Amino acid sequence: MNRGLPAGGFLAPALVVGLSLALAGAWALWPEALAGLGRAAGRVLPPDPAVLARSMPEMAETVLIALGGTALAAAGAALAAAGVMALPAPLAVLPRLALALARALPAIVLAGLIVAAGWGGAPAGLAAIALHGAGRLAPDWLAAAAAIDRAPARAL
């Protein structure tokens, strides 16, 4: 008869002890954290209008990169999904693998790879967001394309 702790029975006490130690450490450092937060807020509030005026073009470029990358991602994912659905099953594995790879890699890693390949600046960010976004959107497009009845297309 096993009167000890059940399998995994040490997990709950370990979590309680770990959480207690983390909270105790946070409580001890709380005054320093608040002081640091106050200093940081004092440096950025109120914002300096000269800095805002200088950074407006970069902020606009960032928004345009995000919008353009998302639009390219939606179009690219739709085209990829349509292409995958048109391929025979053995050949459809390669585009699905490429889309899964684009989905698995974070956009910042894709941007780094694109820059390392020799293409820098805003186009690298746009391409990275487009590739990553296409990888994220492709499963939904593939599911939608798979749900389409193909009988009318075969009839033509």
Domain range list for the chain: 11-45, 49-155
CA 114/CA 17 separation, integer angstroms: 45
CA 72/CA 126 separation, integer angstroms: 9
Q: What phi, psi does 89 have (nearest 5°)?
A: -55, -45
Mean of pLDDT values over 41-64: 88
- The pTM of the full predicted model, rounded to 2 decimals, is 0.60
Decide if pLDDT at 2 tops 60: no
Confidence of residue 5 (pLDDT cuts 50, 70, 90): low
Q: Which residue has the higher pLDDT, 121 or 67?
A: 67
Q: Judging by beta carbons within 10 Å of its beta carbon (0-12, 13-18, 19+), is residue 110 exposed, middle or buried?
A: buried
CA 126/CA 111 separation, integer angstroms: 9
Q: How far apart are the first and last CA of the chain?
A: 73
Least confident of 2-6, 123-127, 139-143, 150-154: 2-6
Alpha carbon 25 to chain centroid, angstroms: 32
What is the predicted pLDDT for the residue at 36?
79
What is the predicted pLDDT for the residue at 123?
87
Peptide bond into 46 cis (omega under 30): yes
